[in-house]
Structure 1
Amino acid sequence: MTGVVITGWSALSSAGVGVDALAGRLAGRELSAVPVSPGVGVGHLYEEPLPAPDGHALADFDVRARLGRKGTGSYDRTTALAVVCCQEALREAGMTVDDVTRKRIGVVLGTSLGSFKSTSDYSRETLVQDKPYLVNPMLFPNTVMNCAAGQVAIRFGLRGVNVTIAGGALAFLNAVRYAGNVIERGYADVMLTGAVEEYTPHRAWASHLTGSTTTVAAGEAAGMFALTSPQAPVWAGSRRSARILAVSTGYGPGGGEQAERALSGCVNRVLRRAGVDPDAISTVLTCEGDEADRREYGPVAYALGHRPRRIMAKRLFGECDAASGAVALAVLLAAGKDGVAAEGLSMLTARGADGAVGAAIVKGYADAGTDRG
């Protein structure tokens, strides 16, 4: 990909729904030195026991209040978060979906495995129901990994490319790279691109038992970005929030030092592809949660040759797994909503437990003006 422009975006996080909620949570904070937030009380959300009384969930989220009753009765939480977030992103971009444009708007959504709860609940039904295993067939669609992306397309009448990428920690960067390739090859003019992860007992316990969240609580989030080319038609949105100049992913088998070398290689590749001097990178947004954790920041600083400011969005919004990268980008854009931090060059990084790594360079525009050059 040669770079894509963000003409509109939105995020759902423990801060609330939309750009303003996220910007409000960040207002007045020094993002490079935020303390770890415990989240909010989540005990009332589910009858099942949870590993901790607090988490980073949208405790008062009500999909019917946002979208109405029609068509939402079958949504699981992952689908509800994704659809509402896309609605907000389309509104922020000022994009009208009609018979002319709908064929040129696609969706690419990153995830870990779809809705863990929906899949688990359906599997359980096949074991506990009386023979001949009378499972409610209405439960099945939500077990399909691409359910959320499909429902987004159905809700808004989008007929372009529709893709779900199961990439874990790398899901968002993989989604951005995929979207960029689709746009560059002319298959779509706009790709609603992002990632989603729900907070449920299943994910909370999975994070707790695998030790993937040592300093931050489990969370949920959705982040969606309207991506297009700088030469896109006017209907794709005239305002620019930022431009993603380049994305690179890699793999270091077994993790450890091999993953560190792979991440440094990703950094070098995105700098070369974007034509950016390493010294121009002022901020790195990593998916780390602990100040002492340097598994991403260390290789990045080594490749850049200096130590840029580090922002760890997980410390504010929890372990959001596949959606962590989308949350990090949303934090960067929300912090710059009033010209605070967006202008300049930043880098997003991600690293999975299996050794998968990735990096992207983002050019922010503090004025969010109309020139998308």
Structure 2
Amino acid sequence: MTTTVAVRPLTITACGVVSPAGLGLGALEEALRSGVDDYTAPDNPFEGAVDGYPPRPLWAVPDLRVAEHLGRKGLRHIDRFTMLGLIACKLALDESGTALTDEDRADTGVVMATNTGSLVSMLEVGRDTLLQEKPYLVNPARFPNVVTNACTGQIAIRNSLTGVNVVVSGGQAAGLAAVRFARTAIGDERSRRLLVGGVEELSQVAAWGWHKSGALHEDAPVGEGSAVFLVEDAEAASTAGRSGLADLLACEVGYYGAGDSEWRARGLRSCVERALERSGVGADDVDVVSLGATNHRRLELLEDRVVQEVLDRPVPRVRVSEVLGELYSASVPLQIAAVLALWREPADHARTALVTSVGGDGNAGCLVVRECR
């Protein structure tokens, strides 16, 4: 007989969001409630994709004035992917309202969800090594951008953070794996608090990949963005007098095979049921579900069906990719951010949300989020 262990909550004390809706939870809330229809594709330096972008909606972060957020020094060779993550982290740290001491910096780490890092940087360097005269015309300044942990490294360097520094690669469900890792790192006292989130950039190569794969509905948009949360042990935060936005309760994620959709459905159902049980939350206590497979052929209906079967009643759904576009490995962080954005409107009770994810690679999972009061 398997014994289910109750989870120790983590608290989100601050949040930074960079998305096609703009910067911050306020802009995201407005977009979720009213929608935005004038997103545009970014100016992208990669020229290797055929005929530019594919013929589908493309939603980029608007008017990204990097220097206003990060200053002008040290950005010359940093790519857009890393800049999105850096700005989201700065927004989260600024929102916390507390200047980090040397002790804080030594005890603060970074856990970011991604899949490959920047595809643009990888392909630019790869192309140059094949087409340019070696080694003289291959720009060495671009090499650091091709490693998967380039973004987390820059976040740590620019903020002098010397705690755990990890990138989690896990496709659509990478954000859930990042939350799981964060819980382990804080529980093992490897860091006292962590910047946890994810980042994805809009590029010609990624947009063509989605377009040619047929994984998304024909008119589904492709987007970009980053959401980062400052997270610490809930009990420690409360003892120190730090208020939170929400508690991250149980997070369950696993691999259930990419071929058999029913096997994936059973896996997702198991994750949802186990997460609720470990959180001490009943199906009747769930106020909203933030879905991750919206606009995915075959997976969208599967995810919605599993949620309906487990909860067995109508529960409001949040479909963030309808507003921000397909965000892939940044989906879960922005699904969480969407819940926090909607919770800016007060309610008469502490609300509870499910954040679900199921990907074409066979990964699936669920996170329970509870509003702090």
- TM-score (norm. length: structure 2): 0.90
In structure 1, list runs of 5 or more residues that go unmatched. none
In structure 1, what is the Cα distance between the partners aligned to 2:40 and 2:135?
40
Which amino acid letter does the alignment assign opposite residue 296 of structure 1?
Answer: E
The answer to whether the 8 Å contact 1:81/1:196 transfers is yes
Q: Supply the distance in 1 between the matched residues of 2:291 and 2:58 (Cα, whole angstroms).
A: 20
Of 270, 273, 277, which aligns to 2:278?
Answer: 273
Distance 1:78 1:43 in 2: 12
* Counterpart selection for 1:289 from 279, 289, 294: 294
In the alignment, what sits opposite 2:361?
354
Post-superposition offset of 1:239: 2.1
- Matched position secondary structure for 1:224: strand
- Tell which deviates more after alignment, 60-69 or 328-337: 60-69
The yes-or-no answer on 1:193 pairing with 2:196 is: yes
Taking a change above 3 Å as real, the CA distance of residues 287 and 188 of structure 1, as seen in their structure-2 partners, is: same
Give the drift of 1:21. 2.0
- What is the rounded CA distance, in whole Å, between the counterparts of 1:218 and 1:5 in structure 2? 31
**Among 144, 147, 161, the residue aligned to 1:158:** 161
1:170-198 deviation line (CA, Å, top 9, x unaligned):
11111011101111111111110000000
Partner of 2:249: 245
Partner of 1:345: 352
In 2, Cα distance between equivalents of 1:10 and 1:237: 21
Specify whether residues 45 and 354 from structure 1 end up closer, same or farther in structure 2 by C-alpha distance, changes over 3 A only. Answer: closer
What SS class does the counterpart of residue 40 from structure 1 fall into?
A: coil
CA deviation after TM superposition for structure 1 residue 56, in Å: 1.4
TM-fit CA distance, 1:307: 3.3
The one of 201, 211, 221 equivalent to 1:208 is 211
Shift of 1:342: 9.0
SS at 2:145 equivalent = helix
Query: Mean Cα displacement is larger for which, 242-251 or 58-67?
Result: 58-67
- Whole-Å separation in 1 of the counterparts to 2:181 and 2:157: 21
**Equivalent residue in structure 2 for 1:256, among 250, 261, 283:** 261
Residue 266 of structure 1 aligns to which amino acid in structure 2?
Answer: C
Alignment partner of 1:7 is 2:7:
no
What is the root-mean-square deviation of aligned Cα atoms in Å? 2.2
Q: Which moved more, 1:183-192 or 1:288-297?
A: 288-297
Equivalences, count? 359
Identity percentage of aligned residues = 34
Tell me the CA shift for residue 305 of structure 1: 2.8
| Rounded Cα–Cα distance in structure 2 between residues aligned with 1:109 and 1:73 | 23
Q: So what's the TM-score if we normalise by structure 1?
A: 0.90
Q: Is the 8 A contact 1:297 1:310 kept in 2?
A: no
**Matches for 1:26-105 after TM superposition, within 5 Å:** 26-27=32-33, 29=34, 40-42=39-41, 44-45=43-44, 48=47, 49-52=52-55, 54-105=57-108
8 Å contact from structure 1 (residues 38, 54) kept in 2: no
For the pair 1:306 / 2:313, whether they are aligned, the reply is: yes
Alpha-carbon distance in 1 for matches of 2:228, 2:123: 26
Report the CA distance shift for 1:150/1:140 in structure 2 as closer, same or farther (over 3 A): same
- Superposed CA deviations along residues 17-68 of structure 1, whole A, max 9, x for unmatched, are 22232233234x4xxxx7xx66522265557411137411013112123211
Residue 168 of structure 2 aligns with an amino acid whose one-letter code is I
1:73 Cα deviation from its structure 2 partner: 1.3
Cα deviation for residue 359 of structure 1 reads 0.2
Assess if the C-alpha contact under 8 Å between 2:46 and 2:124 holds in 1.
no
Query: What residue number does 1:172 align with?
Result: 175
> Can you give the 5+ residue segments of structure 2 that lack an aligned partner in the other structure?
1-6
